[in-house]
């Protein structure tokens, strides 16, 4: 291996998927429809304006460009929208291509992953990749990994990577800073200023995603405290990452993880990780939250004498593997005659295509989920729904995110339509995405400020996109059906450790 620290050759790799065990398996097409780029085309997209790539990847490349000379060695970046386990054949192909491309003259590797991937044949494919890469390149080549806050951390990941850098915000609005941090850290390692040591503590605490916001709540508190302790310890700590886990992956690695990377002293990392783990454990009772009951949400929607509100259709969040197709809440709103609602977004390509064909101003019988056979686990909540509708908006779905997690990011939503259904304006899209940005409505000229009730198929990330209009008190997380229902008792988890809180209220842990 070369030790070229003046112009380091850095391999760029990534396989990004958040797997919901109950959702449809992720196939090759699911990556092709979002991100599957190699070599020069990968670098061109990373360096382009409003890149469609994962923001931390773009930021890592830009920061490396800005902080000195380097030789980017772009291999392959694949990303799918959240789905089920990745198919074995797709995973194996990725691994072969990645490992074969790692030549002897590489100085470092950047791995851009989510960290909550499941494969058809593996519970910890993120860890598997990191370990195989480590085996191939040997112990001396730095491997830097960025991960989502919802990653399910394994010891394999922590022993294979030199530095793990997780998002610190939820909604996730710090990917740019984390990509920067990863690049700065790599520069320090390559220049000999750091010989990082990673410590990991896993807690038997497996909370639902709905309790993992960082603006308020126990996870945000411990993340903030971790940053304070890092500052107090001077330069001894390189990174503190606290991962909330993604419960729907249903893997043995489910559980909150504290990952601390010290500049060169493992004991300092271990002590801080344990300190933060103890603080998190003391606060475990706060990792539980109640939803707004379905019927109560309907009452709120019916009430015309109140301030505008926003509902999360929390059971059907495409950002967590939901289909984006459940219609039960829409059907009930129509039945109860609720009006003045903006509701987005239903993933129904056939319906959007039909609307495109009929044209603006047409009235027709809209059939949602016409092709749902509901004979698969992941389709069972996708009830067909037929209703008279008028087409009041059409769009090609090429947009740039405006606020929150998609801000500045190019998105292709395919054919899109806005349907008026008894005073409810319903967005239909052709690429499954969570409605975390007002652009989903604004692309049709709709103003969020004009709506009495906004409903989004998004579990938490919409908060960042819609905070200009709604405070926390105006947000209602509605107990709806779907593959991301945060009511954990409803799910038959097979692999989440049963002795975890809140599944086991008497769960015990100590160092």
Write out the residues near Zn ion by the rule CB under 5 A.
Answer: 148, 150
243 sits in which H/E element = strand 237-243
Kindly tell me which of 248 and 343 has the beta carbon lying closer to Zn ion.
248
> By C-beta, is 150 or 425 nearer to Zn ion?
150
Q: Which is nearer to Zn ion, 414 or 460 (CB)?
A: 460
For residues 113 and 187, which CB has a smaller minimum distance to Zn ion in the complex? 113
Complex with Zn ion: residue 185 or 209, whichever CB lies closer: 209
CB 271 within 8 A of CB 277: no
Comparing CB distances to Zn ion, the nearer of 150 and 325 is 150
How far, in Å, CA of 106 to CA of 8, rounded?
A: 8
DSSP codes joined into one string, 398-467: EEE--SGGGTT-EEE--SEEEEEETTEEEEEESS-----STHHHHTTT--GGG-SEEEES-SSTHHHHHT
Contacts of 296 (CB under 8 A, 6+ apart): none
Q: How far is the CB of 441 from Zn ion (least distance, A)?
A: 23
247 vs 320: CA distance, rounded Å: 10
CB of 70 to Zn ion, least distance (A): 29
Least gap, CB of 91 to Zn ion (angstroms): 20
What is the closest distance, in whole angstroms, from the C-beta atom of residue 460 to Zn ion in the complex? 9
d(CA 124, CA 225): 29
Q: Are strands 163-166 and 257-262 parallel, antiparallel or unpaired?
A: unpaired
CB nearer Zn ion, residue 434 or residue 480 = 434
Q: Compute the least distance from the CB of residue 509 to Zn ion, in Å.
A: 24
The CA–CA distances, whole Å, from 388 to 356, 385, 423 equal: 16, 10, 11
Return the number of the residue (150 or 168) whose C-beta is nearest Zn ion: 150
CB of 148 to Zn ion, least distance (A): 4
**Residue pair 212/283 in contact by the 8 Å Cβ criterion:** no
CB of residue 461 to Zn ion, shortest distance in Å: 8
Shortest Å, Cβ 111 to Zn ion: 17
Please state the closest distance from residue 209 (CB atom) to Zn ion, in A. Answer: 8
| Beta carbons of 18 and 81 less than 8 angstroms apart | no
Residues 186-216, buried b or exposed e (16+ Cβ, 10 A)? bbbbbeeebebbbbbbbbbbbbbbbbbbbee
Name the residue nearer to Zn ion (CB basis): 150 or 463: 150
**Cβ distance to Zn ion smaller for residue 148 or 174:** 148
Do the strands 71-79 and 143-147 form a parallel or antiparallel pair, or are they unpaired?
unpaired
Residue nearest to Zn ion (CB): 150
Q: Residue holding tokens 């080549």?
A: 141
Yes or no: say if 335 and 295 are a contact pair by the CB < 8 Å rule.
no
Give the CA-trace dihedral at 147, 152, 153, 157, to 10 degrees.
Answer: -70
Q: C-beta of 150: minimal distance to Zn ion in Å?
A: 4
CB of residue 257 to Zn ion, shortest distance in Å: 14
Q: Of 9 and 289, which CB lies nearer to Zn ion in the complex structure?
A: 289
CB of 175 or CB of 415, closer to Zn ion: 175
Rounded CA separation 43/39 (Å): 7
Burial of 482 (0-12, 13-18, 19+ CB in 10 A): buried
Look at residues 67, 322, 32, 94 and name the one whose alpha carbon lies nearest to residue 183.
Answer: 67
Q: How far is the CB of 287 from Zn ion (least distance, A)?
A: 16
Instruction: Report the alpha-carbon distance of residue 417 to residue 356 in Å, rounded.
Output: 7
What is the SS3 assignment for 144?
A: strand
| Peptide bond between residue 178 and the one before it cis (omega within 30 degrees of 0) | no
CA distance 270 to 511: 11
């Amino acid at each position: 291996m070369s030790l070229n620290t003046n112009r380091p050759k850095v391999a760029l790799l990534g396989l990004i998927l958040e797997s919901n065990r109950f959702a449809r398996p992720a196939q090759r097409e699911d990556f092709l429809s979002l991100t599957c780029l190699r070599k020069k085309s990968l670098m061109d997209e990373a360096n382009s304006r409003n890149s469609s790539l994962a923001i931390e990847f773009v930021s890592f490349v830009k920061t490396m460009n800005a902080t000195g000379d380097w030789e980017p060695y772009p291999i392959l970046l694949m990303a799918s929208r959240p789905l089920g386990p990745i198919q074995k054949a797709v995973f194996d192909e990725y691994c072969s291509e990645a490992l074969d491309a790692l030549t002897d003259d590489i100085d470092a590797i950047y791995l851009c992953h989510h960290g909550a991937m499941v494969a058809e044949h593996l519970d910890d494919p993120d860890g598997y990749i990191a370990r195989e890469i480590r085996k191939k390149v040997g112990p001396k080549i730095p491997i830097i990994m960025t991960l989502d806050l919802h990653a399910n951390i394994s010891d394999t990941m922590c022993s294979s990577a030199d530095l793990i850098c997780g998002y610190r915000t939820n909604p996730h609005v710090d990917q740019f800073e984390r990509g920067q941090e990863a690049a700065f850290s790599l520069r320090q390692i390559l220049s000999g200023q750091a010989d990082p040591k990673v410590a990991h503590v896993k807690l038997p605490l497996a909370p639902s995603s709905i309790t993992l916001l960082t603006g308020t709540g126990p996870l945000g508190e411990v993340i903030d405290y971790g940053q304070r302790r890092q500052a107090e310890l001077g330069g001894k700590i390189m990174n503190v990452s606290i991962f909330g886990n993604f419960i729907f992956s249903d893997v043995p690695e489910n559980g909150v993880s504290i990952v601390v990377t010290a500049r060169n002293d493992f004991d300092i990392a271990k002590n801080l990780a344990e300190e933060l783990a103890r603080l998190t454990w003391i606060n475990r009772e706060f990792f539980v939250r109640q939803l707004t009951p379905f019927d109560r949400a309907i009452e709120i929607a019916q009430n015309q004498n109140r301030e505008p509100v926003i509902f999360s259709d929390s059971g059907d969040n495409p950002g967590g593997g939901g289909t984006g197709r459940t219609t039960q809440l829409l059907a009930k709103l129509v039945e109860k005659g609720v009006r003045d609602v903006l509701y987005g977004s239903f993933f129904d390509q056939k319906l959007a295509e039909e609307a495109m064909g009929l044209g603006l101003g047409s009235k027709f019988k809209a059939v949602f989920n016409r092709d749902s056979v509901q004979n698969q686990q992941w389709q069972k909540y996708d009830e067909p729904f037929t209703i008279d509708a008028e087409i009041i908006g059409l769009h090609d779905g090429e947009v740039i995110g405006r606020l929150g997690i998609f801000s500045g990011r190019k998105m292709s939503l395919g054919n899109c339509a806005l349907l008026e259904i008894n005073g409810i304006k319903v967005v239909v899209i052709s690429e499954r995405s969570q409605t975390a940005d007002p652009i989903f409505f604004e692309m049709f000229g709709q103003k969020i400020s004009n709506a009495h009730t906004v409903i989004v198929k998004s579990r938490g990330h919409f908060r960042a996109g819609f905070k200009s209009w709604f405070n926390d008190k105006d947000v209602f997380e509605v107990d709806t059906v779907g593959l991301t229902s945060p009511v954990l008792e409803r799910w038959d988890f097979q692999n989440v450790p049963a002795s975890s809180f809140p599944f086991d209220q008497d769960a015990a842990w100590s160092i």
